[in-house]
Amino acid sequence: MTFTKIYECHDEGEMSFIKSLLDGNGITFVVENEHFGSLYPGGSIPFNGRNILVPEDDVDRVQILLSRLREAPEENNAS
């Protein structure tokens, strides 16, 4: 199975939210460097990015889910 990077998380909260979204939709994923940030807490260093990877077959589905997240705040402001 080949995995493709679909997202780079910038903090723990964002990573937890994306993981929950994927898990809740039954999508297999891997978080590259998931625990690396705990080695050097506080500052951001160039090689500690936490990348979320999914199987190539699920990339389109995940992109749709992520695009809906980006649209959600605008829809809430329209009300």
Give mean pLDDT, residues 25-35. 91
Q: What predicted TM-score, i.e. pTM, was given to this entire model?
A: 0.73
Burial label, 21 (beta-carbon count in 10 A; 0-12, 13-18, 19+): middle
Q: Which residue has the higher pLDDT, 44 or 55?
A: 55
According to CATH, the superfamily of the domain at 3-78 is UreE, C-terminal domain (3.30.70.790)
What's CA 70's distance to the chain center, in Å?
13
Give mean pLDDT, residues 43-62. 83
Task: Give the pLDDT score at 68.
Answer: 81
pLDDT tens-digit series, residues 54-74: 999 999 999 999 998 776 555
